[in-house]
Every structure is written in C-alpha cells, then in structure tokens.
Structure 1
Amino acid sequence: MIVFVFKYLVPNGFRGFTFFPFVFLADKKDKSHLILLNHEKIHIRQQIELLILFFFVWYGIEFLIRFVQYRNRREAYRNISFEREAYANEKNLHYLKQRFFWSFLRYC
C-alpha cells in the first residue's frame, strides 16, 4: 500500500480513496489514522480479488442500483457491498488476517 496525500484527488466529503496499490488521502494527519488505513486496506484486498478493473465496474453498477433504491448518493455509497464490508470491519485491525476470499459477498 502506497499512501499519498493529495486533497485534490479525493472527492469532497471523503477522507480518502484507494486505487490499487495507491491510497490517496485528503489530509496528511490521516496517514497515522489506523482505522481509516485499515478501511482502505480492505478495499485493496477487494480490488486484488476482482483484478482491479472488475472491482470498479461492480462498484459503479452497484452504486447505480443502490442510488435507484435509496434515491440518496450518500445512502447509496454506504450500502455498496464493498463499503459495507469495509465499514463493518475497519476497527478490527486483524480482520484481513482472518478474512475469507470474496467476503464482500456477505454484504450484498
């Protein structure tokens, strides 16, 4: 995981985003925020499992489905299976050691 602080790449309202193998953060203080970094590490694992390209295709399609379902961008984002897995497990710093392959499917 290679971490960059570049607030202009991070969308407004977000603290960071991941594009394997890079994590882009909006604020340099977040480089030491273990929970946020663990959240992004979970996304890195998801991206590896789906060979990066398929992750973003799935993410985009699921966002559109959730947006139609909830009619709210923030609610749609929070209910994407990848985000649900990451938010549910971001505080467990050992999660990636015990995580099963394609675990995000449990959050669909």
Structure 2
Amino acid sequence: MVLISKYLVPKGYVGITIFPFIFLKFYDLKTNAFLINHEKIHLRQQIELLIIPFYVFYGIEFFIRLIKTKHWRTAYQNISFEREAYLNEKDLNYLKSRSFWSFVRYL
C-alpha cells in the first residue's frame, strides 16, 4: 500500500518502505514506476528476511560502510539492499524473475 507523508520520509529522500507500506513524500510520485518498483524490491527483501532482521542487517551494513567510507550518501548507496534496488528499479519485470535472497549478490 502506497501512502503519502512528507513527515515520515527523511530529508533528502523521496520514498521509504516500512513493511507493509511504501511512504512517498509527494502525491505525484505515485506515478513514478521506477520509484515504486525500487520500493517494491525493498518490500520483497523485507519479507525474505522476516522484516525485523532486514532492518537489523540494513543498519549494521550501513554503519560498517559509513565507517569505511566516512560519507553518509556513499555508505547508503553501497548497502546491498540499495544496490540491488537501484540497479534493477528500471526493470519493471525484475520481481517476476528475481531469485530468493538476490540481495546477497550485491554484498
């Protein structure tokens, strides 16, 4: 389910997925197929890791990458979950052919 909330989406971002919802900063983003696909990839990742472990793994990986890169945006972009989502967001059929735990390839 897609919801609009400029308050729940962090500054500098336009969308965030918190199972089972996709929160977008602005209403017109609902028509952005690539953004919605990106967020749906995150929904699949969250389901595969049984939701709570996804957030734990995401946070740990982010902080490890932040320590290595010392740059917030670079650390974020290199999280395996984000790499998978960004690299496949333009393939609107990706989720139909995606293998279980595909994010592991992006570690």
Report the TM-score range of the alignment, normalised by the length of the smaller protein: over 0.9
Root-mean-square deviation (CA), in Å?
A: 0.3
The aligned counterpart of 2:83 is: 84
What SS is found at the alignment partner of 1:23?
strand
**Structure 2 residue 7 is matched with structure 1 residue 8:** yes
Q: Which runs of 4+ in 1 moved over 2 A?
A: none
Q: Which sections of structure 1, spanning at least 5 residues, go unmatched?
A: none
Residue ranges of structure 2 left out of the alignment (5+ in a row): none
Percent identity between the two aligned chains: 61
Q: Distance between the aligned counterparts of 1:20 and 1:8, measured in 2? A: 17
The CA deviation at 1:43 is: 0.1
Question: 1:25 maps to which residue?
Answer: 24
TM-score (norm 2): 0.99
Residues 33-72 of structure 1, C-alpha deviations (whole Å, 9 max, x = no match): 0000000000000000000000000000000000011100
Question: Which structure 2 residues correspond to residues 1-108 of structure 1 after superposition, within 5 A?
Answer: 2-108=1-107
| TM-score normalised by structure 1 residue count | 0.98
State the aligned residue count: 107
